[in-house]
Chains A and B, each alone.
Chain A
């Protein structure tokens, strides 16, 4: 085997009230794809931030290729050959690819040379990308390529990737994996952070698992099952959602050729969307991010009013009803963006309960809010959905992403909707919490509700949906029963990404 590239020894970092990393040690070998696994809040981000020089450890040391390594800032890390692709891209929509790449460099070469370099790297690694495309017109997968190429131009020895596949189609994932394997064969090591256990089993050589800031074990992903890894991660076995059987009822929600203009310069218009969901049924809607998911949710929640006669709820035209009237009727929704859309960041959980439950839970009498009752409802959501927080008086922004997600999804589910439309219900949520949320959705359907689940996590959609459709540039494919589909067909249904084929394949 190759020798050690980066050795992490006893890294410890404490924040007020929480120890994010507690004496974490592991080694990354040369030419190794090393997975870093863990629940939300397990300390993965803190750890990679320390490796990338964004955060300084309180204790412990790192050794990079036999030399002591303590980056004070990201540029130190880059100089030492460590590069990172973040989960959230930092690109300027209005600039082109080459300009964006140049912005991240200390001393950018002339634009023409840079464009040539970008083209070379993109050819070498099978990541087709035109340096002069404006970033605003790129798909999420292509934007990620910009970030990856930006890193590769520095010839890194260690490439850190934070949840890289969360925005990709299966075909794009395929391309990414080929690239990563090629990098590995050329001697680059990769630290790969993901929630998706199957992916880690296909791609990674070693996996380090963090739980509550501690390294709880290392395994070779190919030799264990996804379930075993998940159990190491959460420290207990968790329930896999059970698919439900049973007859589907009447049509509760129907969209009839729903078309709407794009809400803003970088939004997506909805084009002739038609769908039907029956009582007891889960309709999964897949698709690459930015193909109209947000816009569809806003049309169904009533935030943007649709043209007359396009949205029907229980046989009644609700197209022109706002969110309050739709909620009154039993059509509830949960947007993707937790902070700022589904919840107000600076308001308490109790206040955020009033946000959507004011009328269905009768938290308001003659216009006056019954704060006692609102607090009671917030506590009920916290208890039923295992939201970890000191209490309902805490501001929403103080919760971790996964806990807030449990809260906002739970808030809608406990209002017993007839139809629940939810976008990315488990985005950024750890495996145990995701399983709990999925189970809650299935339970809701079993009680006779119709569910529209918009998600970019195909495994999730396969697990809970009865029927599946995919959004592509604002169009919805015909919906088909999940039983008839496999991952290949689904990828073709999604078909949204541009140039899907691998640009070349030697190397």
Chain B
């Protein structure tokens, strides 16, 4: 008989091993699925995980995409992970991401066509504030009226999407755009264009910010008393209160950090890879970042790796659709498996399997 037995201490070995095991299991089961679809499994796996980086023909284009896609995922996921550690479930990072982009872009466009080096930093701050302010709504409602932050933050995503639509079709529309929806293109405005810092790497300011956020989050959670208070609140809310931690402050802090980082990610995106405010600006980074945060075990360096891995499956998935004609849904299923196997193998962190002989009555 197989029995699960709770470990006295969470296993450190398994904490590190589960993501790797999950990736391997995804490859095996995913490959099996691709085979059932009549596609060569090994080639499909290679197309997803290897070709985006090393294919002689496509890698030149797809390799920079890795950081372009991973940057916002990591930046948002880091912010979310701080809240998740405290048991504060901000599901609305997508909305904060959109509001950051809209606010930052609006501040920038107010100064159009000024050419000054101060403008871009100002827009970054405005973007962060936009995301922060959007996240303060669920924080305020939760602390004041006890509402559920999951629902409020999620609903605010749809509000943000409508604001985005009205901005791109109305008040931020490019006056010289011949009536087409969408703002002015930031790529044509030297002072604020968030271009690659090193050519052909995909490394723009947003990626730099993501790396800084990884290190800052690590220091905060591992060394700083506020990080300790956040973890304590998540682990044992009563003990946190006994220690003197104000639950309301933690809610404002966590939602504030995640909102500001998501807003910043939105600003870097709109001034860089996206280039303008448009109706389809919201691309789901805010939701995918939730998966990234958990795939990275809410650990900053784990999130860094998970963000890169997630970005890779996106790019590789697109490539596989193009090259092998795999259906898009099978790629989504493949990504879903990753999370599924991670959660499944996660059991071994806190439990161990014991094989016991058949018990006699």
A and B are partners in one complex rather than unrelated chains? yes
Q: How far is the CA of A367 from the CA of B220 in the complex (A)?
A: 10
The listed residue (A342, A358, A398) touching B242 by CB distance below 8 A is A342
- Are the C-beta atoms of A395 and B235 separated by less than 8 Å? no
Which of B231, B238, B244: most chain A CB closer than 10 A? B244
Nearest CB of chain B from residue A319's CB, rounded to whole Å: 16
- Are the C-beta atoms of B225 and A345 separated by less than 8 Å? no
Chain A residues with CB below 8 A from B241, complex form: 303, 323
Task: Say yes or no for B116: interface residue by CB 8 A criterion.
Answer: no
User: Per-residue CB proximity of A155-193 to B under 8 Å, as 1/0?
Assistant: 000000000000000000000000000000000000000
- Are the C-beta atoms of A351 and B228 separated by less than 8 Å? yes
User: Per-residue CB proximity of B248-273 to A under 8 Å, as 1/0?
Assistant: 00000000000000000000000000
Task: Say yes or no for B135: interface residue by CB 8 A criterion.
Answer: no
- Are the C-beta atoms of B224 and A395 separated by less than 8 Å? no
Q: How far is the CA of A322 from the CA of B245 in the complex (A)?
A: 9
The listed residue (B232, B239, B246, B359) touching A342 by CB distance below 8 A is B239
Task: Say yes or no for A301: interface residue by CB 8 A criterion.
Answer: yes
- Are the C-beta atoms of A367 and B226 separated by less than 8 Å? yes
The answer to whether residues A327 and B359 also contact, given A346-B235, A347-B235 and a CB cut-off of 8 A, is no
The listed residue (B223, B224, B242) touching A301 by CB distance below 8 A is B242
Task: Say yes or no for A302: interface residue by CB 8 A criterion.
Answer: yes
Task: Say yes or no for B150: interface residue by CB 8 A criterion.
Answer: no
Q: How far is the CA of A355 from the CA of B231 in the complex (A)?
A: 11
Q: How far is the CA of A322 from the CA of B242 in the complex (A)?
A: 9
Task: Say yes or no for A134: interface residue by CB 8 A criterion.
Answer: no
The answer to whether residues A70 and B246 also contact, given A344-B235, A358-B225, A368-B224 and a CB cut-off of 8 A, is no
The listed residue (B5, B228, B238) touching A354 by CB distance below 8 A is B228
Give the segment of A281-289, A308-316, A333-341, A430-438 that binds chain B: A333-341
* Contact residues of A between 320 and 363, Cβ < 8 Å to B: 322-324, 327, 333, 335, 337, 340-347, 351, 354-356, 358
- Are the C-beta atoms of A369 and B224 separated by less than 8 Å? yes
The listed residue (A72, A355, A358, A394) touching B361 by CB distance below 8 A is A72
Q: How large is the interface on B (under 10, 10 to 19, 20 to 34, 35 or more residues)?
A: 20 to 34
Chain B residues with CB below 8 A from A9, complex form: none
Q: How far is the CA of A70 from the CA of B360 in the complex (A)?
A: 10
- Are the C-beta atoms of B242 and A341 separated by less than 8 Å? yes
Q: How far is the CA of A348 from the CA of B204 in the complex (A)?
A: 40
Nearest CB of chain A from residue B293's CB, rounded to whole Å: 19
Nearest CB of chain B from residue A208's CB, rounded to whole Å: 27
Task: Say yes or no for B8: interface residue by CB 8 A criterion.
Answer: yes
Task: Say yes or no for B57: interface residue by CB 8 A criterion.
Answer: no
Nearest CB of chain B from residue A398's CB, rounded to whole Å: 4
Nearest CB of chain B from residue A288's CB, rounded to whole Å: 23
Task: Say yes or no for B200: interface residue by CB 8 A criterion.
Answer: no
Chain B residues with CB below 8 A from A364, complex form: 225
Nearest residue (CB) in B for A344 is B236
User: Per-residue CB proximity of A15-58 to B under 8 Å, as 1/0?
Assistant: 01000000000000000000000000000000000000000100
Q: How far is the CA of A301 from the CA of B9 in the complex (A)?
A: 30
* Contact residues of A between 91 and 115, Cβ < 8 Å to B: none
Chain A residues with CB below 8 A from B243, complex form: 323, 355-356, 358
Nearest CB of chain B from residue A11's CB, rounded to whole Å: 16
Chain B residues with CB below 8 A from A371, complex form: 223
Q: How far is the CA of A382 from the CA of B244 in the complex (A)?
A: 24
- Are the C-beta atoms of A341 and B238 separated by less than 8 Å? yes
Nearest CB of chain B from residue A128's CB, rounded to whole Å: 35
The answer to whether residues A343 and B8 also contact, given A324-B244, A364-B225 and a CB cut-off of 8 A, is no
Q: How far is the CA of A72 from the CA of B358 in the complex (A)?
A: 13
The answer to whether residues A369 and B228 also contact, given A56-B359, A398-B8 and a CB cut-off of 8 A, is yes
- Are the C-beta atoms of B8 and A340 separated by less than 8 Å? no
- Are the C-beta atoms of A323 and B9 separated by less than 8 Å? no
Task: Say yes or no for B10: interface residue by CB 8 A criterion.
Answer: yes
Chain B residues with CB below 8 A from A333, complex form: 242
Nearest residue (CB) in B for A347 is B235
Nearest residue (CB) in A for B5 is A16
Chain A residues with CB below 8 A from B236, complex form: 340-341, 343-347
- Are the C-beta atoms of B238 and A322 separated by less than 8 Å? no
* Contact residues of B between 122 and 181, Cβ < 8 Å to A: none
- Are the C-beta atoms of A398 and B9 separated by less than 8 Å? yes
The listed residue (A337, A368, A395) touching B223 by CB distance below 8 A is A368
Q: How far is the CA of A367 from the CA of B231 in the complex (A)?
A: 15
Q: How far is the CA of A342 from the CA of B9 in the complex (A)?
A: 19
Chain B residues with CB below 8 A from A351, complex form: 228, 232
Nearest CB of chain A from residue B8's CB, rounded to whole Å: 4
- Are the C-beta atoms of A346 and B10 separated by less than 8 Å? yes
The answer to whether residues A369 and B242 also contact, given A70-B361, A398-B8 and a CB cut-off of 8 A, is no
- Are the C-beta atoms of B9 and A395 separated by less than 8 Å? yes
- Are the C-beta atoms of A345 and B235 separated by less than 8 Å? yes
Chain A residues with CB below 8 A from B244, complex form: 302, 322-324, 327
- Are the C-beta atoms of B361 and A340 separated by less than 8 Å? no
The listed residue (B224, B239, B246) touching A343 by CB distance below 8 A is B239
Q: How far is the CA of A358 from the CA of B226 in the complex (A)?
A: 12
Q: How far is the CA of A356 from the CA of B235 in the complex (A)?
A: 15
Nearest residue (CB) in B for A352 is B239
Nearest CB of chain B from residue A384's CB, rounded to whole Å: 22
Nearest residue (CB) in B for A339 is B236
* Contact residues of B between 178 and 221, Cβ < 8 Å to A: none
* Contact residues of A between 377 and 415, Cβ < 8 Å to B: 394-395, 397-398
Nearest CB of chain A from residue B320's CB, rounded to whole Å: 40
Chain B residues with CB below 8 A from A324, complex form: 244
- Are the C-beta atoms of B232 and A367 separated by less than 8 Å? no
- Are the C-beta atoms of A322 and B246 separated by less than 8 Å? yes
Chain B residues with CB below 8 A from A356, complex form: 242-243
- Are the C-beta atoms of B223 and A369 separated by less than 8 Å? yes
Q: How far is the CA of A333 from the CA of B244 in the complex (A)?
A: 12
Nearest CB of chain B from residue A491's CB, rounded to whole Å: 32
Which of A70, A72, A324, A355: most chain B CB closer than 10 A? A355
Chain A residues with CB below 8 A from B239, complex form: 340-344, 355
Q: How far is the CA of A327 from the CA of B245 in the complex (A)?
A: 13
Q: How far is the CA of A29 from the CA of B240 in the complex (A)?
A: 50
Nearest residue (CB) in A for B239 is A344
The answer to whether residues A367 and B224 also contact, given A56-B359, A327-B244, A342-B242 and a CB cut-off of 8 A, is yes
Which of B10, B223, B228, B243: most chain A CB closer than 10 A? B243
Nearest CB of chain A from residue B100's CB, rounded to whole Å: 27
Nearest residue (CB) in B for A297 is B242
Nearest CB of chain A from residue B79's CB, rounded to whole Å: 20
Q: How far is the CA of A356 from the CA of B228 in the complex (A)?
A: 12
The answer to whether residues A340 and B225 also contact, given A302-B244, A355-B243 and a CB cut-off of 8 A, is no
Q: How far is the CA of A364 from the CA of B238 in the complex (A)?
A: 22
Chain B residues with CB below 8 A from A344, complex form: 232, 235-236, 239-240
Chain A residues with CB below 8 A from B238, complex form: 337, 340-341
Q: How far is the CA of A408 from the CA of B317 in the complex (A)?
A: 53
Nearest residue (CB) in B for A324 is B244
Chain B residues with CB below 8 A from A394, complex form: 8-9
Nearest residue (CB) in B for A393 is B9
3 A-B pairs with least C-beta separation: A324-B244, A323-B244, A344-B236
Q: 27 A-B contacts, Cβ less than 8 Å apart?
A: A16-B5, A72-B361, A303-B241, A303-B242, A322-B244, A322-B246, A323-B242, A323-B243, A340-B239, A341-B236, A341-B239, A341-B242, A342-B239, A344-B235, A344-B239, A346-B10, A347-B232, A347-B235, A351-B232, A354-B228, A355-B242, A355-B243, A356-B242, A358-B225, A364-B225, A369-B223, A398-B8
Residues of B bordering A, CB below 8 Å:
5, 8-10, 223-226, 228, 231-232, 235-236, 238-244, 246, 359, 361
Contacts beyond the supplied A340-B239, A355-B239: 19 A-B pairs with Cβ under 8 Å = A56-B359, A70-B361, A303-B241, A323-B242, A333-B242, A335-B242, A340-B238, A341-B236, A341-B239, A341-B242, A343-B239, A344-B236, A346-B10, A346-B236, A351-B228, A371-B223, A394-B8, A397-B8, A398-B8
